[in-house]
Structure formats: structure tokens, C-alpha cells
Structure 1
Amino acid sequence: MQITDIKIHIIKIPLDKVIHFAWMPGKNIKEYGFTLIEINTDEGITGYGTSNLVGDNQVATSIKALYKEFLMGKNPFFVESYLRPFSLMKPFGAPPWALSQALWDIIGKAANQPLYKLWGAERDKVLAYAAPAEPRTPEQTKEVMNRYQSDGFKAVKLRLHGMKISEDIDLVQSAKKVVENKMDILVDANQALKFPTPLPHPHWDYKRALETAQELEKLKVFYLEEPLPMYDFDNLAKLNGEIDMYIAGGECNMGLHEFKILLEKNCYDVIQPDASLSEDLFQIKNIAALTMAHGKLFMPHTWGSGLNLFSNLQVALTVPDEYSPYFEYPYDYESWKVELTQKMILNPIVPDKDGFIHAPSQPGLGFELDQKAIKKYTLENY
């Protein structure tokens, strides 16, 4: 089998409702964009992958310049030998992780098996936690918790974006009053990496992170995500050493070597790589193995296109429940709906009434793409 072509689709989907992401204060999100990679072979098998970098021609140009000529005519089964040299480079514009997804998608389809089975399945379902996008008041949070509880979720993640600690604690207390001990509460401070935005971000230094974590611990919060900048290894390790509650992070880190540092320094209890942001897809599986070897939890970050959720799920299904109790499910019932995030997928993943998401049965990454939707929402092709 040989690679015959690599196509890059810049996807832009207009939104019916403006979305306000908690991690981008004051910014009005009016469209949903990502880069879709399509790799064709001489045996008629096509693989797809996606970049979490919002679709634009810089991403496409980078992929064409760095990878396309390099991969043409080669056997997709040798994916690791092609992509590993790039894993330490952090190439400008677009890392090769989307190509990795597409190549592994081809391998799974050629074997007629979903990837989690090829890699050694541990389970075929996992509990999802709902991960809404928008910031809310304590009163609005009560409604959110009631809704997610009725949907069957056993856990929900809240966005902590108050300018004061008291504002964040009030938010969590409101949620706890609704669910009592029937659901786990996870919280995300989004401090690892900050985007330039119209309104200021709350700034967490070590003192703010420690004091907030101490209060959250009293409320029996499951974990605190990204309480400090992504490379503040020493303070992350110090915080983790002083707090019994789980500290989570890693979605913004890139390369197996960075996750090795996070684990060896004991920065996090919960490691959260992302197949579109962090590493080659199979290296994400290696990160999972390294995480378990350190006695930590593996709960990948899955925000981005719905295709990315499928990619991370394939890895998570090779990890046992005790090391991966929940799987992130991006879902905001008012705005970030399944009909949007998985708009181009004919077999969307939806949690069942008990809060589980199940393994897709299709081979490769497991999704079936709507070719009409690709054509409709493609802004540019490369």
C-alpha cells in the first residue's frame, strides 16, 4: 500500500448562536473551524485526521511544506518511523498529529478493526463527564447541574473564571447543593495557556492556586485542572504535594518528553494529553502507559472537532477503569451541542442514559464522515 495524495480541507461552520468560551473572556465566537486532513492510498483506503488549530491557510501551508512531499509514495503502516523525528521539533504552524490520526485510520481500516482492538482493548465503554464551554453564574450553574444530572452524567466540569476566589467557591457550592453526593464535580481554571482576549483573564499565582485548592478540597471536588502555567513545573509539583485532591493538566504540553517531566516531577495526578495537540496518536498510548507506571490517572483532553473525540477515545479504551475513570465529553446543551461538534459525523457518539459512551464499531478511528457536509463547509482545499 502506498500514499497517493494528501488533501487538506479548511472547515468553517457558522454558528446559530454566538458562543462565549470561558477561557476567552469577551470574545464572541461566531464560527467553528478546524483543519481536516485526508490521506488517500493506491488501495482505495482513505484516512482522516484533524488539527485542533482553527482552520486557516497557515496550517495547510505548513502541512504541505513540511510533510506532504515527505510522505508521498510511502507505506502508511510505517507511521511511527515517519512522524517520530518531528515529535521533538514542535514545527511551526502545524504539528503532524493530524497526519498521525489519518495514517492510523488507514491502518485500522486495512485491518478492518477499530484501533482500540488492534492495540489491545481493555474495555468497550467509559463513563463520560460533561464539559460545558461557557462561564455561568452560581444561579445558572444550578440549572446546568439539574440538566446534566437528568441526562445521565455522573460528573460535570465547571469553569472557574471568577476574579476573586470567593466567586469560584460560590459557583462550586451552588453545584454541590443541587447534586449533593450523586455526581462528581471537576473544575478547570484554564491557567496553563492564555489567549489574547478583549477582557482580562483571572490571574492565578501560586497563592491563589493553593488557597482555591484548599477550599475546593473541603467541598470534595474530584480534581482541579490547570491551576498554573504549563511550564511552571516546580510550583505545580509543590501545589500537588500540599493538596490531597487531584491536580490535573497536560493538554497544552507537547511531546513525550514533556509528559515525562510532568510525571517525574509529580506535577499532576491526572494526565490529559490530546491526540490533536500533544503527540502522535500512538505516542498518546505510550503516555498512557507511562502515566499508569507512575500510578497516575489518564483522562485525555478531547476539545476540538468531534473527530478528535473519536481519536482520544480509541486510546482511552485501552486503559483500565481504575486508571481512567472518566472521559471528557465536550457538551454545552445551550450552545456546544452534539449537532454542532459532530456535525460532519454520520455516527455521532452520544452518552447512554447511565452516562457511558460506547466504543464505535467501525474500523480505524471509528467515525463515518458525511461527504456532503465536508463539501458544504469546506472554505478552502489544499
Structure 2
Amino acid sequence: MTILSRIELYHVSVPLPVPFRPAWIPGYPQTHNRFDLIRLVTDDGVEGWSAGPAMGRERAGLGDLVGPYLLGLDPTDIAVVQQRLREMAYLGLRNAWLEPAFWDVKARLEGLPLHRLLGAESGDIGLYASTGELRAPAQRVEEIRRRADEGFTAVKLRVHAPTLAEDIAQVEAVVDEFGDRLRIGVDANQGWRVTAIADAPLWDLDRARRFADACADLGVAWLEEPLPMDDYDALSELTAGARLPIAGGELHTGGWPELRMMIHRRCYDVFQPDAMFTGGIAQTLKVAEECRNHGVAYTPHTWTNGFGFAVNLQLMAAVGDREGLLEYPLDPPAWTPRLRDALLTEPFTHHRGKLTLPDLPGLGFTVDRAALRRWGRRTCTVTAGRLALRTLRDKGLRATAELARNRRGSAREART
């Protein structure tokens, strides 16, 4: 049986050429692409990687948790991995982004890309260009013209203005120019409102309805996150009466149980769970199946980092609608594939609005070790020896021996 013998954690900070001002965090000039990275190594040398977005070094002590919970597991036993992550979450730390690294190991051991391990064929995935910053109508029209010239057939706008009239004006300007050429979606970024730095509009059901009606009249293809993500009653009511598809679901850290409830309540027409937040790959597979069973669509959110994009790309290929389109974050010069995927040897670059699925085993990428040395700092290394020494210092000889006996007994039971 393959055993997880080494865990490494890194904090990565990739400088951006100009500040990026995400619509979802008003007033925040983002100067770096920051994320925390995990590297798993098995006893036979197989690696697995994943990464979770970070604001700073808020996960500095994570190594103290992941070692005791994850070291020594069979990394291909995803059910046990899910249970351990669930137990870690009892302490208030939901780190779904760790789980895809185990799928990376599992697929590499099989010598297959994850989408093929899950039964899908290789090929191309269609993309929609997902904008990130807020812009005035004239600026937005010029931005969308560049995306159309690059071959995209669909785009997503960001609205977050103080007044409904300003939001509608932006959409009208783009529809007037491109409505006969492009599918146009709109993200209101109301699902998880952030006002720590600057104020942001707070939509209620009435405003969401009026904006949805205006978008429907303009021929908008979908409206994303028009209400707070946990206002289940209002979401169901809005979706039931809307004349265009209502989408959302990217950041529901309750994962499968929460999203299953929302599917049953028809909170959205299009569910967009991001596996890096919503319980990992295993739970997202269950969400996608439940969507199919209840006649609603599944297409993942992808706006995190290159590792997160890789995970959700594989899921889209495996269980998404291959006739549909995958979100492709693109807001140059601050946010480009090269900057998003800075630690990968080959960025996930599009060609005329499409992306060819990678055929590398695992999640479909190779880590650029030179880039990792340049922009990453290793914060923790956990091995059996290091964990034993730390436990001995922390708990003393008697408690350490008791823990070792209990772990050996648990491992024997798991094998029988």
C-alpha cells in the first residue's frame, strides 16, 4: 500500500506588474498573487500538489494540524482523506484546497490525467472571458472588444456600482456593441460582500429582481450571485421568477450537504462550486451528479490560482457540460495566465477562446521548481521523524508512546 511519507507547505507571493483591483473587494489594490501550496510525497516518490488562495500568512500554523491528521495515510483513499479534513474543520479550519493534492497522487499513480481517470475523453474546452475589475461603460466596451478579437464567444462583466442605473448602463453599453456577437453574463458579486476596506452596495430581493428584469430585457445570458449566498429563501424566490438563468455557488464552504440542500430548493439554475472551497473534488463530483439529477447546470468557478484553475478544468472536462463554457479569468495587465500560473512550467493559455486539455498524469501540470524557489517560502516540512520529535517535545515520553500505540492499532484495523 502506498503511504504518504512527507508533507511540505509553502507560502507563495508572485508580484503583479500593476495593482489589480478586484470587484469583489472594493478599495483593495492587490499587488501580489498570494497562495499557500502543499506538496505531498509518497513512500515511493510520487508527488501531489494543490494550492489555496491567501491574503497573507494567515495559515502560518497549518503544518501543526496537517501532519498528525494526514501523514501516513494511503493517499488514494479519498474517503479517509475527506473524513480527516472534516475532523480538521471541527477546529474552524475548512481547508478543502488540500484535498485535490491527493487526487493528483491518485491519478499520477494510474498514469492518467484526472479527467480520464474519471471516465472522460480528452479534447478542447470552450471558455468565457471573466473580467475582474470594475470599469466605466466606455472602458468596458474597449476591453470586451479585445476579448472578442482574441476569439472569445462569451464574456462575463462585473457590476458593483452604488446605483442600479449605473450597473444597467454598463450592461447596456456592452450589449449595444456586442449583443449580436457574444454571449454576455453579469456577476453582481453579492454572494459574499466584503466591506473591510471600502463600502459596497448591498442588494435586497427587490433590487436583484429589477436588475434581473433589466438583464433579461437586454438578452443577458446569465446573472451571477445577485444576493447573499446564505439567503436561501430569497435566492429560491428570485430564481423561480427570473426570466434568465441565475447562477452562483462558488464559495459555499459547507460543501456537498449545503449545496445539495440548495439544489433541492432550486436556489440557482446554474451551480458554480469551486472545488478549492466547496469540499474538494470528491464533494464536487457529488454536486455535479445531483445537478444532473435535478435538471440544473454545473460549471465551476475558477478564479483562484493556477492550481485551482487546473483542478476545476479537470472537473469541467469530467462532469461538466462539454457543450458549455468554463470561466477563464483574464484582466490584463494585472491578471494574465502567466501571472495566475506562475508556478507552472506551462500556463493554461487559450487559443481563440478554447483550451486543449493537458495529457499529463494527475491534475495536468508540472511545477516550475525555479519559480517556486523564487517566489515561495517553505513554511513547514512534516515527516514521521519530525512529527515524533515534535510530539515528544510537546507531550512528553509517556503520552507520545500512548499515541504511537493507538496509531499502530488504528492502522492495523484499517488494513483488516
1:347 aligns with 2:346: yes
Q: Deviations over 1:8-53 (max 9, x none)?
A: 0001112220111111111111111000000111111110011124
For 1:19, the aligned partner's letter is F
Structure 2 Cα separation of the partners of residues 25 and 319 of structure 1 = 34
> Where does residue 191 of structure 1 map in the other structure?
190
Of the structure 1 ranges 294-303 and 69-78, higher mean CA displacement relative to structure 2 is found in 69-78
Aligned to 1:275: 275
Opposite residue 83 of structure 1, the aligned amino acid is: Q
Shift in Å at residue 212 of structure 1? Answer: 0.4
- Cα distance change of structure 1 residues 366 and 239 upon mapping to structure 2, 3 Å threshold: same
Q: 1:274-298: CA deviations, max 9, x gaps?
A: 1111112122111111111111111
Q: Is the contact made by 1:105 and 1:364 (CA closer than 8 Å) also made in structure 2? A: yes
Q: Which residue of 2 aligns with 1:219?
A: 218
Give 1:321 shift: 3.1
Displacement after TM superposition at 1:90 (Å): 4.1
Counterparts of residues 1-382 of structure 1 (less than 5 Å)? 1-56=2-57, 58-62=58-62, 64-84=63-83, 86-87=85-86, 90-92=89-91, 94-121=93-120, 124-254=123-253, 255-319=255-319, 321=321, 325-353=324-352, 355-382=353-380
* Cα distance between partner residues in 1 of 2:356 and 2:369: 24
> Cα distance, 1:123 vs. partner?
5.4
Among all aligned residue pairs of Structure 1 and Structure 2, give the percentage whose two residues are the same amino acid: 32
Instruction: Tell me if structure 2 keeps the 8 A contact 1:26–1:198.
Output: yes
**1:125/1:155 CA distance change after superposition, 3 Å:** same
SS in 2 for 1:9: strand
Which stretch of structure 1 is more off in the superposition, 365-374 or 21-30? 21-30
Partner-residue secondary structure (3-state), 2:259: helix
Q: Distance in 2 between matches of 1:89 and 1:226?
A: 29
8 Å CA contact 1:128, 1:356 repeated in 2:
yes
Residues 290-314 of structure 1 deviation map (CA, whole Å, 9 limit, x = unaligned): 1111111111011111110010111
Once the two structures are superposed, what CA deviation does each residue of 1:26-83 show, in whole Å capped at 9, x if it has no partner? 1111111000000111111110011124351x32423x23332122122111122221
- What is the alpha-carbon distance in structure 1 between the residues aligned to residue 287 and residue 10 of structure 2? 29
Alpha-carbon displacement from aligned partner over 1:140-198 (angstroms, at most 9, x marks no partner)? 01101100001111111100111111111110111112213211111111111122333
Which string of whole-angstrom CA distances, capped at 9 and with x for unpartnered residues, describes residues 308-342 of structure 1?
001011111113537x6110111112321112101
C-alpha RMSD of matched pairs (Å):
1.7
Give the conservation status (yes or no) of the 8 Å contact 1:59–1:94.
no
Aligned counterparts of 2:87 and 2:236: Cα–Cα separation in 1: 23
Q: CA 1:77/1:334 → structure 2, altered by over 3 Å: closer, same or farther?
A: same
Change (3 A) 1:118 1:60: farther
Deviation at 1:122, TM superposition (A): 5.1
**If you compute each CA radius of gyration, which structure gives the higher value, 1 or 2?**
2
CA distance in 2 between counterparts of 1:336 and 1:87 reads: 33
232-241 vs 78-87, which moves further = 78-87
Gaps of 5+ in 2: 381-416
Contact 1:132 1:336 in 2 (8 A): no
C-alpha distance in structure 2 between counterparts of 1:177 and 1:230, whole Å: 31
Q: SS at 2:207's partner residue?
A: helix
Q: Which amino acid aligns with 1:46?
A: E
Q: 1:146 to 1:23 in 2, by over 3 A?
A: same
Preserved contact between residue 123 and residue 320 of structure 1 (Cα < 8 Å): no
One-letter amino acid of the structure 2 residue matched with residue 147 of structure 1 = R
Q: What TM-score results when the alignment is normalised by the length of structure 2?
A: 0.87
**Which consecutive unaligned segments of at least 5 residues does structure 1 have?**
none
Specify whether residues 369 and 114 from structure 1 end up closer, same or farther in structure 2 by C-alpha distance, changes over 3 A only: same
Mapped partners of 2:20, 2:320: distance in 1: 35
Helix, strand or coil: the match of 1:32? strand
* Cα deviation digits, residues 120-155 of structure 1 (max 9, x gap): 105532211111211000000110110000111111
CA distance in 1, matches of 2:320, 2:341: 26
